[in-house]
């Protein structure tokens, strides 16, 4: 099956193909035909890595009328990085289509700059909930005119404390709109929101964890006690001199410590962790994307949503504390049909969790000695 079979126009198919999206993933097969028809709301259980951005993005962009210069659709996402990534993906999808203008707006950046950008024609806004409310209060966005509302990573938005903002947005947008909700989990508060704001005849779909888009990732591990991990890491980095990679830690402390150690050893490496100011995070991301540094150390939260392509490897200095995070982490390598390595340094304590990851995600780690 291909995207044309799902009803996607050939110019969008061309845009998808250019970024390596050729055969639809499970969620794309299920969601795209329904959302293109747009006769019901949607509640989809799916996580990052399943191809959900295209699953809602392609139908959404198909429904936008480029001739109407108003904001017609709103995508809400929990973090600025994810907003930027979604906007960037939409831009790529529409490379060969009529121009659809997408803006990402989020907290942490000066609102003036975003206000200036929004003065230009904008069809779709991708926003964090707080910043969106801010813009609506200033009269920049007329929520009543929104025809499509997508909630991406709805559970994350709730756990980040955006419940009030979300309900305000759901209230202030017209009941005539289409609401498409994507979430990895459906906690109780989210179920309440669904009951109240999503049409009762909504289409429900669930994508299991094994359905992450098939990438050519090799999963390996090295058994290493905490104290030996830095040496093993530097040994590995020496063998991968010109490769770009992400190094993950579970804690901010470990990330900071490791960053210091690697800098002291002379490795140009960036650090990304949740306590950093947006300005500094942007600077690090620019250096990494601009290939000024080849290595980036990050915690799970700080890395969420960042879309860095063509990474040769992802190294797990510590395993994450949630299985989903392993998917997020390793999904950063082997993009667009390329091969990639996901290497875990695993202490005795972590070993059990490695097996749990294997079972849950139906993957196999091979041991490197
Ligand atoms: P997402 O779950 O939307 O964050 O997508 C994760 C990654 O998979 C992105 O880098 C997409 O470009 C890529 N991707 C999405 N759909 C497909 C597909 N059908 N085939 C291959 N890669 C895909």
Q: What is the pLDDT of residue 337?
A: 55
- Structure confidence by residue, pLDDT tens digits, 179-209: 999 999 999 999 999 999 999 999 999 997 6
Asked whether the beta carbons of 86 and 152 are under 8 A apart, the reply is yes
Query: Does residue 5 fall inside a structural domain?
Result: no
Query: Does residue 192 fall inside a structural domain?
Result: yes
| CATH code for the domain in which residue 356 is found | 3.40.50.300
Last residue of a domain, one of 157, 182, 206: 206
Task: Kindly state if the Cβ of 150 falls inside 6 Å of ligand 1.
Answer: no
pLDDT reading at 299 higher than 80: yes
Query: Does residue 359 fall inside a structural domain?
Result: yes
Please tell me the residue having the least CA distance from ligand 1 atom 21. Answer: 21
Query: Does residue 1 fall inside a structural domain?
Result: no
My answer on whether 75 and 188 are in the same domain is: yes
Please tell me the residue having the least CA distance from ligand 1 atom 18. Answer: 21
My answer on whether 164 and 83 are in the same domain is: yes
The H or E element containing residue 21 is: none
My answer on whether 75 and 164 are in the same domain is: yes
My answer on whether 226 and 296 are in the same domain is: yes
Asked whether the beta carbons of 317 and 258 are under 8 A apart, the reply is yes
Which of 44, 213, 246, 311 best tests ligand 1's pocket when mutated (most atoms within 8 Å of CB)? 213
User: What is the rounded distance in angstroms from the CA atom of residue 83 to the CA atom of residue 81?
Assistant: 5
My answer on whether 235 and 329 are in the same domain is: yes
My answer on whether 200 and 223 are in the same domain is: no
How much is the average pLDDT of 305-331?
84
My answer on whether 221 and 201 are in the same domain is: no
Task: Kindly state if the Cβ of 48 falls inside 6 Å of ligand 1.
Answer: yes
Q: Checking DSSP bridges between strand 339-346 and strand 295-299, what pairing results, if any?
A: unpaired
My answer on whether 162 and 256 are in the same domain is: no
Task: Decide: residue 109, CB within 10 A, 0-12 exposed, 13-18 middle, 19+ buried.
Answer: middle
Task: Decide: residue 191, CB within 10 A, 0-12 exposed, 13-18 middle, 19+ buried.
Answer: exposed
Phi–psi pair at 148, nearest 5 degrees? -130, 130
Task: Kindly state if the Cβ of 336 falls inside 6 Å of ligand 1.
Answer: no
Q: What is the pLDDT of residue 182?
A: 97
Task: Decide: residue 110, CB within 10 A, 0-12 exposed, 13-18 middle, 19+ buried.
Answer: exposed
Last residue of a domain, one of 176, 206, 236: 206
Name beta bridge partners: 105. Answer: 127
Rounded to the nearest angstrom, the distance between the alpha carbon of 69 and the centre of ligand 1 is 29
Query: Does residue 323 fall inside a structural domain?
Result: yes
Asked whether the beta carbons of 276 and 346 are under 8 A apart, the reply is no
Query: Does residue 350 fall inside a structural domain?
Result: yes
My answer on whether 199 and 301 are in the same domain is: no
Residue 239 Cα distances to 36, 232, 330, angstroms? 48, 11, 20
Phi–psi pair at 133, nearest 5 degrees? -60, -45
Query: Does residue 90 fall inside a structural domain?
Result: yes
Q: Residues 331-340, buried b or exposed e (16+ Cβ, 10 A)?
A: bbbbbeeeeb
Please tell me the residue having the least CA distance from ligand 1 atom 16. Answer: 51
My answer on whether 131 and 179 are in the same domain is: yes
How much is the average pLDDT of 133-160?
94
More reliable by pLDDT, 324 or 167: 167
Q: What is the mean pLDDT of the chain?
A: 92
Count how many domains the chain has: 2
Rounded to the nearest angstrom, the distance between the alpha carbon of 267 and the centre of ligand 1 is 31
Q: What is the pLDDT of residue 302?
A: 79
Query: Does residue 93 fall inside a structural domain?
Result: yes
Please tell me the residue having the least CA distance from ligand 1 atom 14. Answer: 51
Residue span of the structural domain in which 174 resides: 10-206
How much is the average pLDDT of 297-317?
82
Last residue of a domain, one of 175, 206, 237: 206
Task: Decide: residue 3, CB within 10 A, 0-12 exposed, 13-18 middle, 19+ buried.
Answer: buried
Helix (H), strand (E) counts: the chain: 15, 14
My answer on whether 162 and 50 are in the same domain is: yes
My answer on whether 85 and 146 are in the same domain is: yes
Task: Kindly state if the Cβ of 20 falls inside 6 Å of ligand 1.
Answer: yes
């Amino acid at each position: 099956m291909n995207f044309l079979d799902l009803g996607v126009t050939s110019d969008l198919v061309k845009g998808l193909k250019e970024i390596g999206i050729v055969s639809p993933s499970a969620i794309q097969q299920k969601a795209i035909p329904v959302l293109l028809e747009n006769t019901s709301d949607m509640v989809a259980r799916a996580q990052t890595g399943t191809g959900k951005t295209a699953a809602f993005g392609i139908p959404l962009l198909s429904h936008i009328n480029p001739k109407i210069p108003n904001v017609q659709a709103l995508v809400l996402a929990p973090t600025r990085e994810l907003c930027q990534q979604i906007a960037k993906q939409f831009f790529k999808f529409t490379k060969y289509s009529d121009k659809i203008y997408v803006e990402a707006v989020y907290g942490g950046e000066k609102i003036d700059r975003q206000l200036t950008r929004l003065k230009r024609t904008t069809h779709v806004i991708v926003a964090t909930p707080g910043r969106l409310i801010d813009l609506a209060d200033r009269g920049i966005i007329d929520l009543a005119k929104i025809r499509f509302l997508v909630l991406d990573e709805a559970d994350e938005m709730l756990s980040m404390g955006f419940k009030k903002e979300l309900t305000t947005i759901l209230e202030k947008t017209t009941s005539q709109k289409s609401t498409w909700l994507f979430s990895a989990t459906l906690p109780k508060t989210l179920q309440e929101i669904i009951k109240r704001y999503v049409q009762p005849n909504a289409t429900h779909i669930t994508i299991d964890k094994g359905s992450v888009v098939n990438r050519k990732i090799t999963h390996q591990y090295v058994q290493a006690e905490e104290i030996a991990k830095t040496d093993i890491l530097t040994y590995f980095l020496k063998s991968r001199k010109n490769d770009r990679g992400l190094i993950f830690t579970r804690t901010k402390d470990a990330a900071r410590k490791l960053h210091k150690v690697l800098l002291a050893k002379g490795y140009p490496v960036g650090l990304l962790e949740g306590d950093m100011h947006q300005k500094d995070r942007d600077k690090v991301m620019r250096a990494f994307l601009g290939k000024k540094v080849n290595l980036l150390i990050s915690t799970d939260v700080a890395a969420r949503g960042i879309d860095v392509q063509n990474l040769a490897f992802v190294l797990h200095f510590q395993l994450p504390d949630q299985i989903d995070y392993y998917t997020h982490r390793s999904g950063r390598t082997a993009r667009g049909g390329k091969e990639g390595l996901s290497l875990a340094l695993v202490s005795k304590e972590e070993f059990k969790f490695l097996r749990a990851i294997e079972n849950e995600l139906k993957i196999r780690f091979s041991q490197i000695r």
